[in-house]
Amino acid sequence: MDIKKYLDHLNQEQHAAVTSPRQPLLLIAGPGTGKTRTIIARIIYLVEEYKLPPEQILALTFSNKAADELKSRLEQTLKERAGRIFCGTFHSFCLTVLRKNHELVKLHPFFSVCDDEYQQTLIRDILNRRAIRDVHQKARAVQLAISNHRLKDKALPPFSSSVFQEYQRHLQRHHLIDYDQILLLTLELFENHQDVLEQYRFLYQAILVDEFQDTDKIQYRILKMLAEKHRNIFVVADDDQSIYSWRGANPENIRQFIQDFRIDEIHFLEKNYRSAQPIIEAAQIILKDTDRIEPEKKIQSVQELDARLSAVFFDTEFQEVDYIIKKIKHWYQEEEIDFNEIAVLYPQHRMGEKLASFFLKERIPFQMASGRNLADHPIMKRFLLYLRLIRDPSDTLILEQLMLLELGEHLFKKIQQWAKQKQISLKKALNEFAIHQYNSKTVRNKLQTFIGNLANLINLKSFFKFDQLTREIINNIQSLQTSYLKESYRLLEMVSLKKEKYLFSDRRKIWLYHSRPEICYLGCQMLEKALGISVHALDDEKVVHVSKPDLVLLLEPFKNEPVSDFDLPLYQIKGSARQGSLTVLFRWLQFQLQTIDEKIFDHYVVFDLETTGNNPHRAGIVEIAAVKVREGEIVETFETLVNPQMEIDPEAQQVHHISDKDVQNAPTIDKVLPDFLQFIGEDLLIAHNGYAFDFIILDRYIRELNLKKPRNVRYDSLIMARNLFPNEKNSIDALAYRYKLDTGTRHRALDDVKVLNLIFRILLKEARKREIFTAGEEFAEYVALGNFLENTLNAREDRALFQVGLNKLLSPFSKIRRVYAATFAKDDEQLLNDLHKITQLHNLRLKDYDSNQEFFDRIMQMSKEYSKMPVDQAISEFLAFISLMNTQDNLEAINAVSLLTLYAAKGLEFEKVIICGMEDHNIPSSYVYRDDEEDDRPMHKKLDEQKRLLYVGITRGKSEVIFTLVRNRFGRRHKSSPFLENIRPLVDIKTFI
């Protein structure tokens, strides 16, 4: 590429920084001054001018969102070479180092990272066991003391020290590390293993760091060790935006860097390309008298825009909310400002939560960056608990949290009490409680289904790729989602395809043909999103590029058929039920998305026990039978009576008709069980109600006889039946009756297992069919738009899928509508109106799109990136990735107002910004005025940081910033912020009447 032409787009300050020699450089870059462009240009300059191999460049940012933007923009210029550059957060880099060198720091190969909530839960658990009062408050103090001890070398008080030791033992036992340990263990690795440090010094010959003011002492030491030999380090910082001292960030690292790397000249970026000058001036006044690297530094706007700054006073919060809603509607309707160009910022989460409830009522689309990260969302939290327990079934802390969510507090407390009374583990108490006759049948079924779902997922984990496991978890947590497709799938018919499932590889391209470019475009987009691979539009000119092994999907006949050895004429499955091209493509896609692989169940053993009673913890075995199945056919049987050496209950005799006399000469279990274990070998072991009965008895006898526990993966067919038919009877008798099966001599073990095998094959077929029919709901909006464009809504399946995808298509969360409109020069508002008209014409039900579904879509999309890894590695790395996400990573590119804390707004920009809470003790926060063990900095230091926080908020706005103040907020009288008084001359003051 022509590097000189690229450099021509930089201003003088940016150009000087980008083209500087390969030596330590400090760039102080104010808000909106083009620092990301400068970092990208520097990387390109290193590659093109200095001929540095891309894999020798380490670019560190402080959010995944920033890293993704960096990668995306580098790809535009460097193409595939960009993928060889490490662009990521500091913690993700350190995690990569630790995974590669896990043995040297005594970590398990598949260690994972525990998030803040897990740390808090663990510390609270330790405190509870020590009968400490006020555990929530004390847990936070202990966690902070531990972090300060590690990152700031502060001594641990004796009590915190003893808690810390127990905390560490728990993490080690469960192969976990916490957020701080990611850095500490990396530092330890580099300090204790010089050869490893030298490898990374040699590997990364250029280091670039963004948001350097947010690094802590440990991060700085790691950076210094990596860069002190080659000294090719490019650091971008802005001390005016240093707002994270309370969590360990050390802005003094800037001065330390100047000293350690002997920086003679600091580079400055001072031209602001974002905000109008009045906004910049107001923001800079806020910083007056703060401690700055360059006190006289001035940011100058290059935008010749009229800007408005105003402050509005209210008596009540309701007046404030009413004003904000009207203002946003005015901007959107009168000034044609898109919702995604508007942000409401606030100092406390609860302000945003109140706004969110009113936005919902007023139907204003919004997205909220609340909590620490994506894992804080209730749906993601539930999913992650399942995943964490699958990773480590012995982690009682995770089991407790999952039980509380899935079973409810009342039932959870009962099980906890049971464990306490009997002095047994929570896991054992759960299993006992699930079969105890004291509980109603409804409660027992609920508990047994919960246990069975978990056990099936844990046991079958190794059979799945990670994205398949993810989908299976989501499918099993039925209560989590509102599924429009599950409500409509009975309107779909089974389709007959020449070959259902295809293997995709990098060596095999996928082509799609339709004569209408917009239909072909929608189809390509849908497949790329769903399969995570490139899909190419086929036409007369491109046909020469098709290779014989390529897969060609034909939505219409193509004149040059056959095109490849793998042509798939999908148009042939059109009929009276389905006419839409996107419908037939979607139906094919559903087969590709299925997770139930019938090969998992090619080899298995079904077994059944007849017993002396119905208590699995005491009952003896009177008969045991099993069938060995290969590819659906029974190839071998096992059957024997067993002398239980105890009396058979009369109730049990009435069921299986085996008397004490029948078994008196039978072999005892110690003779039978070794033969049975040899028969089952290592096959998948299936039982009906196994987790609540058969598996418990089998394990009990294996323990009593001191036999080696078999390694079989286990599966309970009752759980599959309950998931398929949640409100129906699912015993073997009920299922046999439902499917009209000949049951033979029911309740004799061999007849039972033969019937159960037939039932299991039918259930498997039903589960696969239902999974196929309900797969891919997140992509139904593509089908809805395609069917609308082709006007095929009179066909039953086309209309059903249009209904399924319509709610998302009309919502701000749509992934395709606005993109389609922009690509084909259509007016999005007109498209929306036309979609509403067609909805009314066909009398279709229109619901608000359930944004919770968006979380499932995001989970599925993220999971695809880990599916090439072994599943244990994928689980560990996915959990670590989620633990490292921050609030900005929650935000999506949708047309919605952003509700953000001032902290979460950093790095973002908006046309219009409203800053709520401009009262003293909110901005600045009340903690500034308190002597606080958690933050022992002097008051002026804390006050300076609050000024910088407001500076960050103000400089998010391009053309308008509005401050709002409420005299009576949270039930207390408030004065206006002293910061507002400093900028009064620049602000239009209004009082709400």
* Residues catalogued as catalytic: 747
Q: Report the sign of the C-alpha dihedral through residues 8, 10, 13, 14, in that order.
A: negative
DSSP assignment of 124-147? HHHHHHTT-SSHHHHHHHHHHHHH
**Taking the mean position of all CA atoms in its chain, how far away is CA 51?**
38
Distance CA 931, CA 939 (A): 8
As beta bridge partners, residue 937 has none
Q: How crowded is the C-beta side of 724, counted as CA atoms within 13 Å?
A: 20
Q: Which two tokens stand for residue 141?
A: 């103090």
Kindly report the CA angle at 76 between 75 and 78, in degrees rounded to 5? 55
What Cα–Cα distance (Å) separates residue 485 from each residue in 112, 522, 824, 851, 950? Answer: 35, 20, 29, 15, 46
**Taking the mean position of all CA atoms in its chain, how far away is CA 925?**
31
DSSP assignment of 945-981? HHHHHHHHHHTTEEEEEEEEEESEETTEE-PBPHHHH
Distance CA 196, CA 190 (A): 6
Task: Sort 909 into a burial class: Cβ within 10 Å, 0-12 / 13-18 / 19+.
Answer: middle
List binding-site positions for ATP. 29-36
- Over the range 482-517, which residues count as b (16 or more CB within 10 Å of their CB) and which as e? ebbbbebbeebeebeeeeeebeeeeeebbbbbbeee
**Taking the mean position of all CA atoms in its chain, how far away is CA 908?**
22
Show the beta-strand stretches assigned E in 259-405.
267-269, 271-276, 300-303, 308-314, 342-346, 366-369
CB of 375 closer than 8 Å to CB of 882: yes
Q: Which two tokens stand for residue 78?
A: 């460097």
Shortest CA distance to 621 belongs to which of 643, 597, 605, 596?
643
Q: Is the peptide bond before 562 cis (omega within 30 degrees of 0)?
A: yes
Q: Count of CB atoms within 10 A of residue 278's CB? A: 19
Distance CA 559, CA 541 (A): 13
Show the beta-strand stretches assigned E in 417-458.
none
Shortest CA distance to 429 belongs to which of 405, 403, 458, 408?
403
Rg (CA), the chain: 32
Kindly report the CA angle at 524 between 518 and 527, in degrees rounded to 5? 140
Give the amino acid at 733: D
Separation of first and last alpha carbons in the chain: 61
List binding-site positions. 29-36
Q: How crowded is the C-beta side of 595, counted as CA atoms within 13 Å?
A: 25
Shortest CA distance to 340 belongs to which of 873, 893, 917?
893
CB of 752 closer than 8 Å to CB of 637: no
Q: Report the sign of the C-alpha dihedral through residues 300, 303, 308, 311, in that order.
A: negative
Distance CA 251, CA 257 (A): 10
**Helix, coil or strand: residue 803:** helix
- Is residue 359 within a helix (H) or strand (E), and if so which, with residue range? helix 349-362
